[in-house]
Amino acid sequence: MQERLKKILEESREQLKKAASLQDAEETRIKVLGKKGELTEILRSMGKLSPDERKELGQAANQVRAEVEKMLSDTVNNLKEKAKEAKFKAEAIDVTEPGKTYKLGTKHPITITIEEIAKVFKSMGFSLAEGPEVETVFYNFDALNADPYHPARDWTDTFYINDEILLRTQTSPVQVRTLLSQKPPIRVFAPGRCFRCDTPDATHSPMFHQVEGLVVDEGITMADLKGVLDSFAKQMFGSDTRTKFRPHHFPFTEPSAEMDVSCFKCGGKGCRVCKGSGWIEILGCGMVHPSVLRVGGVDTEKYTGFAFGMGVERIAMLKYGIDDIRLLYENDMRFIEQFK
């Protein structure tokens, strides 16, 4: 038995010296110290020996075990260190090489335009209001005084999820939600995405952005509306900008109007952008219809208000000379990086 123990120790030493990987070291450990290992078998056979022989052999076996375990530990540590050195060598960095260039992103022109519009209205005391993009027929049409047979309600114009739920076609539902959640005086603007069943072309998109505005207070008149929007136009397009209001019709305002601004490309002389007229239409507006105020629980004998809505893409295209709305949604970085 003593000779066998010496042989096991010598063989273990030789195998561990030759070990080239952790797997080799593990195989030696299993062969010697595993459940069916050589040393384990010797320890199990000691029950047949006399007490004195068992004591002597046990001491020798334990000594061999300790030496093998130490050799294993040294070998594993050495192999791990070599593996670490090899990894460092393989992943060495040449500090003399030029670094990688990472381009900074830029804001999208739609985001830039919304932020510019928001900055103007915030300077006039307006607060931000928001509403869901998935709306009910009540908020999108009924509460806004839209006739039951209004063509905008048709499925060819509106994306319906079911008979009562749809993707909002305008930011005007935020008007009603604001009237129901706040008491006058109210002065809010609401930017957001809208959806309509349009075939994409140079001037139309099934998804677009609007900015809605609402003011409700005592003594509000059309003159207040014109003053606010004239100030907006001058801050947005330049102090020389002139405004013009034309009669129009919207179900939720009465009277209603469309506002034109003098062409900021030609100064009103007439060019390709304004189609020779000297004016560019940018938004719709009007005094809030009493029916809409009553839906919001507002006393129409005491309060009046005005509202307006503008297309963000239209303003961005006019301001930055973009001739195709589809460019705003293709996410071509060559296009977007021009707005840094």
Number of domains in the chain: 2
Q: In what order do the strands lie in the sheet with 279-288?
A: 127-128, 186-195, 207-217, 304-311, 279-288, 253-262, 243-250
Residues 139 and 61 in one domain: no
Task: Evaluate whether residue 99 is within a structural domain.
Answer: no
- C-alpha 204: how far from chain center: 24
Q: Is the peptide bond before 185 cis (omega within 30 degrees of 0)?
A: yes
What pLDDT, on a 0 to 100 scale, did the predictor assign at position 1?
Answer: 64
Distance CA 302, CA 304 (A): 7
Q: What is the DSSP letter of 308?
A: E
Task: List the structure tokens of 64.
Answer: 């061999």
CA angle in degrees (0–180, nearest 5) for 152-170-142? 60
Terminal Cα distance for the chain, rounded? 84
Task: List the structure tokens of 208.
Answer: 């677009």
Helix axes 312-320, 222-237, angle to 10 degrees: 40
Residues 23 and 135 in one domain: no
Task: Evaluate whether residue 202 is within a structural domain.
Answer: yes
Residues 23 and 165 in one domain: no
Task: Evaluate whether residue 102 is within a structural domain.
Answer: no
Amino acid occupying residue 172: S
Q: From 90, 119, 144, give the residue that closes a domain.
A: 90
Task: Evaluate whether residue 264 is within a structural domain.
Answer: yes
115 to 108, 118, 135, 260: CA distances (angstroms): 11, 5, 24, 21
Query: Which residue ranges of the chain lie beneath pLDDT 70?
Result: 1-2, 47-48, 54
Residues 116 and 77 in one domain: no
What is the pTM for the complete model shown? 0.69
Residues 156 and 211 in one domain: yes
What pLDDT, on a 0 to 100 scale, did the predictor assign at position 304?
Answer: 97
The kind and range of the H/E element at 229 are: helix 222-237
What pLDDT, on a 0 to 100 scale, did the predictor assign at position 177?
Answer: 96
The answer to whether 102 and 333 are in contact (CB under 8 A) is no
Residues 304 and 157 in one domain: yes
Distance CA 323, CA 273 (A): 9
The answer to whether 272 and 176 are in contact (CB under 8 A) is no
Residues 149 and 286 in one domain: yes
Residues 64 and 137 in one domain: no
Return the HEC string of 101-121. Answer: CCCCCCCCHHHHHHHHHHHHH
Distance CA 281, CA 58 (A): 102
Residues 77 and 124 in one domain: no
Residues 178 and 290 in one domain: yes
* pLDDT tens, position by position, 190-218: 999 999 998 888 888 999 999 999 999 99
Question: What's the CATH number where 122 sits?
Answer: 3.30.930.10
Distance CA 184, CA 217 (A): 6
What pLDDT, on a 0 to 100 scale, did the predictor assign at position 311?
Answer: 94
What pLDDT, on a 0 to 100 scale, did the predictor assign at position 263?
Answer: 82
The answer to whether 290 and 262 are in contact (CB under 8 A) is no
Task: Evaluate whether residue 98 is within a structural domain.
Answer: no
The answer to whether 277 and 270 are in contact (CB under 8 A) is yes
Q: What is the DSSP letter of 160?
A: B
CA angle in degrees (0–180, nearest 5) for 99-337-233? 145
Task: Evaluate whether residue 96 is within a structural domain.
Answer: no
Task: Evaluate whether residue 124 is within a structural domain.
Answer: yes
- C-alpha 145: how far from chain center: 35
Q: 38: domain range?
A: 2-90
Strands 127-128 and 186-195: parallel
- C-alpha 14: how far from chain center: 62
Task: Evaluate whether residue 101 is within a structural domain.
Answer: no
Residues 71 and 147 in one domain: no
Residues 191 and 251 in one domain: yes
CA angle in degrees (0–180, nearest 5) for 149-152-154? 70
* pLDDT tens, position by position, 114-145: 999 999 999 999 999 999 999 999 999 999 99
